[in-house]
Amino acid sequence: MLPILDSFKEKYQLNQLIIIADSGLLSNTNIKELQSRNYEFILGARIKNEKQDMQRKVLSLKLANGDSEVIERDNLRLIVSYSDSKAKKDQLNREKGIRKLEKRIKSGKLNKSSINNKGYNKSLKLEGNVKITIDYQKFETDNAWDGLKGYLTNAKLPKDKIIENYGHLWLIEKAFRISKSDLKIRPVFHWARRRIESHICISFVSYKVYKELERQLKEKKTSLSPEKAIEIAKTIYQVKANTKNGEVKHMLLLSEEQKELARLFNFG
């Protein structure tokens, strides 16, 4: 990634870049590499995996909805925020997970790999009758983390700007999702470099067209999503007939959705 960042910075003559990434980039090696090249960064923090003293500091924060606090961490800032909506989502996910576990225990289908397949557990050998139970105390203890989100940064921006900028990360994730699903950038059924690059280029241009459609729909203040507009457009046909007076074309707008799309984009 670093050579790409260096090239991007040089090409566009940027004095400073701020790298924003999820917790997948959060390793001491990566952080040291970014710091060695004087890059500022905002990374999603795995606050539940912090050392115990840091965990206690995080859990001691009494944050209301929308609040955030800064904790100093090894010459970096660990910003912790709280959201009621995230807390509800976290609780819902935990409850769904516990119900799934209860169902699997009842069915008798849990095995070694279902418990944990990390670290030293890989060497476990389960024989005979093994009773698997759920640690409900740990389940209840985990609710202390509901609604909390961490950001590790060396950027000089105010904490609110750190959170705001990290919040834009979903746009990148959305772009990848659209590219992979709607625009079918994967799988790539090519072997020659030129063909692979052409395939990716076409997909990128398609994504640009998709974003332009999204922009225009938003500008026209319609509730239609790009996906829905494309779906409707696929059902619109044009009839062409040759008459004595020449060629005649007629757009078939049969449903109210088709008529609404035609009105928005002034065709038909």
Q: Which pairs with CB-CB distance under 8 Å and at least 24 residues apart come from 22-27?
A: 22/169, 26/152
Residues 65 and 198 in one domain: no
Residues 54 and 78 in one domain: yes
Q: Is residue 163 part of a domain?
A: no
Q: Is the pLDDT of residue 68 over 90?
A: yes
Residues 102 and 185 in one domain: no
**Which strands, in side-by-side order, build the sheet including 68-73?**
18-21, 40-45, 148-153, 76-82, 68-73
Q: Is residue 251 within 8 Å of residue 267, measured between CB atoms?
A: yes
| Mean pLDDT across the chain | 88
User: Comparing 105 with 253, which gets the higher pLDDT?
Assistant: 253
Average pLDDT over residues 116-139: 64
pLDDT of residue 110: 65
For residues 90, 96, 102 and 106, what is the CA-based torsion angle, rounded to 10 degrees?
-170
Q: Which pairs with CB-CB distance under 8 Å and at least 24 residues apart come from 99-106?
A: 101/134, 102/134, 105/132, 105/133, 105/134
Residue with tokens 């950027």: 155
Q: Is the pLDDT of residue 199 over 80?
A: yes
Residues 211 and 241 in one domain: no
Residues 13 and 63 in one domain: yes
Phi, psi of 246 (to 5 degrees): 115, -170
How many structural domains are present in the chain?
A: 4
Q: pLDDT by residue (tens digit) across 217-242?
A: 999 999 999 999 999 999 999 999 99
Q: Is the pLDDT of residue 265 over 90?
A: yes
User: DSSP secondary-structure letter at 192?
Assistant: S
Q: How confident is the model at residue 106 (pLDDT cuts 50, 70, 90)?
A: confident
Residues 196 and 112 in one domain: no
Q: Is residue 164 part of a domain?
A: no
pLDDT of residue 120: 46
Q: Is the pLDDT of residue 124 over 70?
A: no
Residues 79 and 204 in one domain: no
User: Which run of H or of E encompasses 12?
Assistant: none
Q: Which domain holds residue 242?
A: 227-265
Q: Which of 114, 142, 170 represents a domain boundary (last residue)?
A: 142
Average pLDDT over residues 136-154: 91
Residues 24 and 154 in one domain: yes
